[in-house]
Structure 1
Amino acid sequence: MTTARDLAIIALNVAPDRPVEPGNLSLVLAGAEVLDLIAARSVVLDGDRILPGPQSLTGDRLLDEAASALVRQEPYEAVEDWLWRRGRGLSSAYVDELERIGLTTRPRGRRIPLRTGRTELADSAARREAEERWASGEPTLAALGAAAGIREEPIEGLTEEAVTVLAAVGNAVQELEAVRQRKVIEDAAFDNIWRGY
C-alpha cells in the first residue's frame, strides 16, 4: 500500500464525522504521491525541486501515473507547482480507484440498487492496514492527515524531504482556502448589488 492510498482510505473512513474538503484532499494526495515516489527512489528533492530518477513501475496504477507525469527537463518542477498540476481532481481519482479494485462499495437499497454517490469502505486487509498505520501515529501519514484537516495533533519525527513537501502542501491548502474566501466575499457583494444595496 502507498501512503496516498492509505490517506484516501482514512479520509473516506472519517468523512461522515469530519468531512474532508475534496480540493484540500487532492492537494494532500499529490503531496503523498511525491513522498511515495521518494520512498520508491523514483524521485529526489533538490531544495523544493522534484528531480525524476529512472522510470520504474511501482505496482500501483495511480503512483505509476504520477511518475509518468513528472517533468523530466530542467529546471524541473517545484513541489508546489506539482501539487496544483497533479492534484486537480485527484481525490475523485483515488475514490474511483478504490472502487475499481474492490476496496469500496456503494450502498444499495433493498430491491433496487441505490446509487447515492456515497462510497463506503469494504472490510479488507488494505483498510485494516491503513487504519493500523493511522492509529500508530506514523509521522508521515499523520502529518498528511493534519494537512487535510483530519487530525489536529502536532507531528514529530519527519524526514527533511517530508518537511519540505508538507510545507508546500500547507502553502497550497492555505492558498486554496484564500481563494474560497475571496469567492464567498465576491458572491456576497454581487448579491448585495443585485438586491440594490
Structure 2
Amino acid sequence: MTTARDLAIVALDVAADQPVEQGDLSLVLAGAEVCDLIEAHALVLDGDRILPSVQVPTGDRLLDEAASALVRQDPYESVEDWLWRRGRGLSSAYVDDLHRIGLTTRPRGRRIALRTGRTTLVDSAARREAAERWTAGEPVLATLAAAAGIGDEPADGAEDLAGDAVTTVLAAVGDAVMELEAVRQRKAIENAAFDNVWRGY
C-alpha cells in the first residue's frame, strides 16, 4: 500500500470521531503522492521543483495517475503548485477508489462525502496494514496526518528519517494547509461583516 492510500484509510477510520476537512486532506494526499513517487524513483526534487523520471507503473491506480499528471517540461512545477493542482477534489477520489476496490461500504445510490462518516471501512489486510503504520507512529504518515488534523505531530519529527526531499514536501504541505485555513478565516470574517451590514449594524 502507498502512504497516500494508508492516509486515506486512517482518515476514514477516525472520521466518525474526528471529522477531517476535505480540503486539508486533499492537499495532504497530494503531498503523500509526491512522497510515494520519490520512494518509487518516479521523480526527484531540485530544490522545490518536481523533476519526473522515467514513468514506471507503481501498481496503484491513483499513484500512476499522479505520475502521469506530472509536468514534464522546464521549468517544471513547484511542490506547492502541485499540491493545489493535484489536490483539487483528491480526498473524494481516494474515497471513491477505496470503495471501487472493495475496502469500504456505503449506502447504495449515494456518493457520500468523507466528513459525514457514513463511508465505512471493511475489515481487510489493507486496513490492518494502515493501522499498523499508524499505531507504530511511522514519521512521514504521522506528520502528514497531523497536517490534515489527525493526531499529533511526531515527537521526534519526521525530518531525521525522511531525507531532504521528503522534508521539503512535508514543509510545503504544512504551508499549504495553513494558507487554506487563512483563506477560510478571511471568508468567515467577510461573511460575518456582510451579515452585519445586511442586518443594519
Q: TM-score, normalised to structure 1's length?
A: 0.94
Report the counterpart of residue 176 of structure 2 in structure 1: 172
- Runs of 5+ consecutive residues of structure 1 not aligned to the other structure: 108-112
Q: How many angstroms does 1:106 deviate by?
A: 1.1
Mapping 1:20-31, distance limit 5 Å: 20-31=20-31
Q: In the alignment, is residue 130 of structure 1 matched against residue 130 of structure 2?
A: yes
Q: Which amino acid aligns with 1:160?
A: D
Mapping 1:32-51, distance limit 5 Å: 32-51=32-51
Report the counterpart of residue 95 of structure 2 in structure 1: 95
In the alignment, the residues of structure 2 paired with residue 149 and residue 131 of structure 1 have an alpha-carbon distance, to the nearest angstrom, of 17
The alignment partner of 1:51 has SS state of strand
Following superposition, which runs of at least 4 residues in structure 1 exceed 4 angstroms of deviation? Answer: 113-116
Mapping 1:178-197, distance limit 5 Å: 178-197=182-201
CA contact (8 A) 2:142 2:152 kept: no
In the alignment, the residues of structure 2 paired with residue 184 and residue 142 of structure 1 have an alpha-carbon distance, to the nearest angstrom, of 29
Farther off after superposition, 116-125 or 64-73: 116-125
Q: Which amino acid aligns with 1:163?
A: T
Report the counterpart of residue 19 of structure 1 in structure 2: 19
The alignment partner of 2:162 has SS state of coil
The alignment partner of 1:71 has SS state of coil
In the alignment, the residues of structure 2 paired with residue 190 and residue 58 of structure 1 have an alpha-carbon distance, to the nearest angstrom, of 49
Q: How many angstroms does 1:78 deviate by?
A: 0.3
The alignment partner of 2:27 has SS state of helix
Report the counterpart of residue 80 of structure 2 in structure 1: 80
Q: How many angstroms does 1:45 deviate by?
A: 0.6
Q: How many angstroms does 1:158 deviate by?
A: 2.6
Q: In the alignment, is residue 158 of structure 1 matched against residue 165 of structure 2?
A: no
Report the counterpart of residue 115 of structure 2 in structure 1: none
Write out per-residue CA displacement over residues 162-182 of structure 1, whole angstroms, 9 at most, x where no aligned residue.
Answer: 210011001100000000000
In the alignment, the residues of structure 2 paired with residue 77 and residue 30 of structure 1 have an alpha-carbon distance, to the nearest angstrom, of 13
Report the counterpart of residue 10 of structure 1 in structure 2: 10
Q: How many angstroms does 1:116 deviate by?
A: 8.3
The alignment partner of 1:45 has SS state of strand
- Runs of 5+ consecutive residues of structure 2 not aligned to the other structure: 113-117
Report the counterpart of residue 143 of structure 2 in structure 1: 143
